Amino acid sequence: MNARTTAVLWGSLVTAVLIIVPLSLRDRLPEPLAVHWGMSGAPDNATSFGAYLAMVLALWVVPWLVMVGVAVRGMGPARRLGRTYWWGSLAFLSVFALGLNGITLLANLDAADWTRAELSGWLVAGIVAVSVAAALAAGYAGRGAPDQPPPPGEQPPRLRMRAGTRAVWVSRVSNPWLAAVTALAGGALLVTIALRLVGLVPGGMSAGLLPVLVVVLVAGLLSTSVTVTAGQDGVAIGFGPFGWPVRRIRLSGIDSAMTETRHPSQVGGWGFRGVPGSATIMLRGGECLIIRYRSGGQLAISIDDAARGASLINALIAERVEK
């Protein structure tokens, strides 16, 4: 059974359970239902049964349809890492949706009114733990066979260079959506600080909000753009609008360079993905520069003009070997 069929059948089953179970317990639930609880386990927000059912379905159906779309287009399951993320995400989302719906109904079941629907925080932690375990198991089971290596006789692209020529290749790529989020985080940070200084924002609220905005701002500055430079000194990867920090890879550590088309859905999303030895810097889908290490690992970078960069890197490696 392929990923598309599994996603459709499993998702339909989960959707049916999310609808049928609440409807079958409708007479034993208060109106409205408690849908949010504080740290003490006491409910602090409620909504009508119809709104609750719509909310539960939206939280599951939207990501499920995205998963189906990824499978139909073949962007996720094409590579081993993509299959791992795809199966893991499907398992996590479905188990979490079922578990969250289950404990919400359990807390409200036979309660006189929503204010008496108490929920233990351990149940929520348990649902998250089970969902993570299901994701790890599904990702491992569905990862499939290793990706096919290039044919033995395939030669990587190589730029023809005249003797004594020194060449440098520089390319840059940025993600406007990540840049917009970073700009919003920076603006929100400045506004929050200003409002805190004039006393319009409570200290407790700003203390919780400021660290989040700082983390988003710093992460955004590091991941909105990437600049890659290849030359006699190796490959340098500069992060962010200022090209700092910089990761440097010596030519002596590179076996070859190739190009390959990859999409965010194949590597788990945008940003820095994967594990050491098989990592990806993904800012946009499309042509990627693949750097293969002599140690056996590889690094993929979504960058413009990747074919020219790969051919120059291979030429520089060959020139170094000939010397």
Please compute the mean of the pLDDT values over residues 188-192 and round it to a whole number.
Answer: 83
Residue 102 lies in a domain: yes
* Residue at 150 is within a domain: no
Same domain, 200 and 312: no
Identify whether 9 is part of a domain: yes
The amino acid occupying position 110 is D
**In this structure, are 183 and 81 located in the same domain?**
no
CATH code where residue 285 lies: 2.30.29.30
Domain boundary among 141, 161, 194: 141
Amino acid at 285: G
- Same-domain check for residues 215 and 236: no
Is residue 76 a contact partner of residue 70, using CB atoms and an 8 Å limit? yes
pLDDT in tens, 54-112: 999 988 998 888 888 877 766 556 677 778 888 888 899 999 999 999 999 999 998 88
CA distance 50 to 105: 13
Q: What is the pLDDT of residues 123-152, one digit of tens each?
A: 888 999 999 999 999 888 887 777 666 665
Q: How many domains does the chain have?
A: 3
Are residue 192 and residue 309 in the same domain, yes or no? no
Structure confidence by residue, pLDDT tens digits, 2-57: 777 888 899 999 999 999 999 999 999 998 898 888 777 788 888 899 999 999 99
Q: Say if residue 116 is in the same domain as residue 183.
A: no
Is the same domain home to 42 and 74?
Answer: yes
Residue 163 above 90 pLDDT?
no
Residues 217 and 249 in one domain: no
Residue after which a domain boundary falls, among 203, 222, 241: 222
**What pLDDT is recorded for position 297?**
84
* Together in a domain, 214 and 281: no
Residues 216 and 252 in one domain: no
Does 160 fall in a domain?
A: no
| pLDDT band at residue 214 under the 50/70/90 scheme | confident
Among positive and negative, which fits the CA dihedral 158, 162, 165, 169?
negative
Residue 204's pLDDT is 61
Task: Specify whether 213 is located in the same domain as 183.
Answer: yes
153 vs 80: CA distance, rounded Å: 23
Quickly tell me which residue has 């004594």 as its tokens. 164
Stronger pLDDT, 268 or 229, i.e. the higher one: 229
Same domain membership, residue 213 and residue 270:
no
Evaluate whether residue 245 is within a structural domain: yes
Does residue 251 form part of some domain? yes
Q: Report d(CA 241, CA 221) in Å as an integer.
A: 7
Please say whether the beta carbons of 258 and 156 come within 8 A: yes
Residue 146 is assigned to a structural domain of this protein = no
One-letter identity of residue 242: F
- Phi, psi angles (nearest 5°) of residue 259: -120, 150
User: Of 193, 222, 251, which residue constitutes the final position of a domain?
Assistant: 222
Task: Based on the fold, state whether residues 123 and 186 are members of the same structural domain.
Answer: no
Res. 155 pLDDT band, cuts 50 70 90: low
Report the pLDDT value the prediction gives residue 195, as an integer from 0 to 100: 76
Domain extent at residue 196:
176-222
Q: What pLDDT does 201 receive?
A: 63
Question: Does residue 157 form part of some domain?
Answer: no
Supply φ then ψ for residue 165, to 5 degrees: -75, 135
The mean pLDDT value for 295-314 works out to 89
